[in-house]
Amino acid sequence: MDRLVVSASFKYCFKEIKHGKKFSMELAGRTLTVEVGRVAAQANGAAFMHYGDTVVLSTATASDKPRDGIDFFPLSVEYEEKQYAVGKIPGGFLKREARPSENAILTDRVIDRPMRPLFPKDYRNDVLLDNLVMSVDPDCSPELTAMLGSAIATCISDIPFDGPTASTMVGLIDGEFIINPTAAQKEVSEMSLTVASTREKVIMIEAGANEVPEDIMIEAIFKAHEVNKEIIAFIDTIVAECGKEKHEYEHHEIDQEMYEDMVSFITPEAMEEAVFTDEKQVREENIRGIEDKLAERYADNEEWLSQIGEAVYTFQKKTVRKMILKDKKRPDGRDITEIRHLAAEVDCLPRVHGSALFQRGQTQVMTVTTLGSLSEAQRLDGMDQDETSKRYMHHYNFPSYSVGETRPSRGPGRREIGHGALAERALIPVLPTEEEFPYAIRTVSEIMESNGSTSQGSICASSLSLMAAGVPVKAPVAGISVGLVTGDSDDDYLILTDIQGLEDFFGDMDFKVAGTDKGITAIQMDIKIHGLTDQIIREAIARTKEARTYILHDVMNPVIGEARDHVGKYAPKISQYTIDPEKISEVIGKQGKTINAIIDETGVKIDIDESGRVDILSEDQEMIDKAIGIIKSIVEPLNVGDIYEGEVVRIMQFGAFVQVSPNKDGLIHISKLAKDRVEKVEDVVNIGDRVAVKVLEIDKMGRINLKLEEKLS
């Protein structure tokens, strides 16, 4: 049975197939097809997604029973990149996919963020959203396909979920918005925006942009939301045909009698006093004191005793939200639009290439910049065959001591990778090109102290560190996060500038925006509610613009307003020289003998790529110039009449052979050693002598005849 449905803005097609059902719609000029029932029938929900030639299997699976002893929703998201999807065999000894790539981890996070708020808050069953990338069409994003697939698989499953959601990517080329841009369009786009929506509201925003003005970004967000509404209408048809009835689950609620007893015993006034402080450690100590009192009170009631942690959390949350929303009071006493105390400095570490320290309240970040040759760029072995290396790398480390904990370090987690990628995305638009600044660049943000918004602190610290290192950035970049507390209606809300940890923890939104004076370079929005109204989005972006301008002008610029015009004393100096690619083998020499000799003589580092670009690195500019001179002598022909410096390498009865470059020897005939008659060559020169010689002739066979001008040593 085939069925074609046409609406005012889109059309979709439904087909009965041998093993299941197939649904199709046209999305940004390409066909999106969803097959249900063809594969993975034992999952709670499965959508076999086709977007162009991109194929992703998205599944949603839930455990039969809740996990014991937890007070959170255990959702896991996986995005599995298979190299066969792009016709590649994995590198390495094992020849199979190993740990997930950074792109896969970031995709996990971008799928998770719009989905998580729509599951019941008291759902304790394990849920896994798995996305298997099986075929990749470069013009049809597998990441977007997986986002749509996870939403569809969950919606048609029996797992409780208040969806559907839909996601759209937007590019900006020559002032025009491009929906779900192709690979070629992404290369020239001024913006990479991903927006997820429910029917009524935007629920997730992720963006990187080349200083795009706020009004254009807002317009693009709402454009994506309109497209998402069309996709949701398409998903509704799939759910109507294939959706399962949602299963009942074991609700997890605090004993109401216990909660009321706790509130009357502790009192709202005491809880407000406990949380109303700008010192995180003091607040935590106050809460521990409350928990100790409750443990003593409920010592004989094991059931109530086990609920103390969650009950106190709920009591704190209600207290903080009431203080903010109704009383307009923030836990640390700040005004709603007030930013915590800010401080910045550069050159914190003596021998690194660049360093900076940025502090916002109890959030403190030190970023260190390291410069290297372009050969040190990170090699990428992912699904995007056009992106094989990364010249700028930003790494973010969040050690346990930054929050007063003792957890040992086991490498970066998904959160750290995500925060590092956000800062990297924010700074890339202002970095110089390879031609302008031929370095690979790495910044590492070490979180020294944390009380909210460390990712935005790392952007500010990194911008300062790059400028201190002499990286000629186009403009400094600052980041800020605003929060949200909502009431009973869409109009009952309060936006908070510069949220600290407690406000993030108990609030409804973490809206991070980074940019320059000119415009936005990155956005990341996380929320815990069912979406944001247009009004909230506009106000939040306006608030971040105001705060970002203040940070740039009043805090960062007075410390270092623009990049230094030179790299630091301990940073390598780089000079570039381009040679004919056919001459590369001459510079390298047999088994690397020639290039190694240059390195040994000058102490420089030399990188040559297949295009013929030669990068010479050293802390000593004089040695760089010397190495370039040697390379020039190898690749450039000798000119008759010019004078060159060389070394006597062989002596014969009739003259001396001088090496004027590693691949060019010439003969000084005995008659050209001096004006007067020379009886014996050794009377004038010996092996190892440095001499200045003039080229007299280069014969048809390429033999070089020289004349001694001066004995140098």
Q: What confidence tens digit (pLDDT) does each residue in 624-649 have?
A: 999 998 898 889 888 999 999 899 99
Over residues 444-453, the mean pLDDT reads 94
Q: State the chain's mean pLDDT as an integer.
A: 93
Over residues 133-150, the mean pLDDT reads 97
Over residues 410-418, the mean pLDDT reads 91
How is domain 642-711 classified at the CATH fold level?
A: OB fold (Dihydrolipoamide Acetyltransferase, E2P) (2.40.50)
Superfamily (CATH) of domain 573-635? K Homology domain, type 1 (3.30.1370.10)
Is the pLDDT confidence value at 150 over 90?
A: yes
The CATH class of 256-327 is mainly alpha
- Burial track 277-301 (b if 16+ CB lie within 10 A, e otherwise): bbebeebbebbeebeeebeebbeee
Residues 6+ apart with CB under 8 A from 427: 392, 394, 443, 459, 462, 463, 466, 473, 477, 521
Is the pLDDT confidence value at 6 over 60?
A: no
CB 451 within 8 A of CB 500: yes
Over residues 684-694, the mean pLDDT reads 94
Q: Could you give the residue range(s) of every CATH 3.30.1370.10 domain in the chain?
A: 573-635
Cα dihedral 268→269→270→274 (10° resolution)? 100
Which one, of 246, 222, 51, 79, lies nearest residue 138 by Cα?
51
The answer on whether 625 is annotated among ligand-binding residues is: no
| List of E strands, 347-449 | 354-360, 363-372, 378-379, 389-390, 392-397, 440-449
Is the pLDDT confidence value at 657 over 90?
A: yes
Q: Supply the pLDDT for residue 651.
A: 95
Q: Could you give the residue range(s) of every CATH 2.40.50.140 domain in the chain?
A: 642-711
How is domain 21-193+211-242 classified at the CATH fold level?
A: Ribosomal Protein S5; domain 2 (3.30.230)
pLDDT tens, position by position, 62-84: 999 999 988 899 999 999 999 99
Banded model confidence at residue 663, pLDDT cuts 50, 70, 90: confident
Over residues 306-313, the mean pLDDT reads 92
Q: Supply the pLDDT for residue 11.
A: 61
Q: Supply the pLDDT for residue 18.
A: 67
Measured between alpha carbons, how far apart are the two ends of the chain, in Å? 95
Q: Supply the pLDDT for residue 488.
A: 87
| List of E strands, 425-557 | 440-449, 478-486, 493-497, 509-515, 520-527
Is the pLDDT confidence value at 677 over 70?
A: yes
Q: Supply the pLDDT for residue 94.
A: 84
The answer on whether 504 is annotated among ligand-binding residues is: yes
Q: Could you give the residue range(s) of every CATH 3.30.230.70 domain in the chain?
A: 21-193+211-242, 342-556
The percent of residues in the chain predicted with pLDDT above 70, rounded, is: 97
Banded model confidence at residue 261, pLDDT cuts 50, 70, 90: very high
Is the pLDDT confidence value at 8 over 60?
A: no
3-state secondary structure of 557: coil
Q: Could you give the residue range(s) of every CATH 1.10.10 domain in the chain?
A: 256-327
Q: Supply the pLDDT for residue 74.
A: 97
pLDDT tens, position by position, 551-560: 999 999 999 9
The percent of residues in the chain predicted with pLDDT above 90, rounded, is: 79
Q: Which helix (H) or strand (E) holds 21?
A: strand 20-27
One of 3.40.1500.10, 3.60.15.10, 3.30.230.70, 3.20.20.60 is the CATH number of 342-556, namely 3.30.230.70
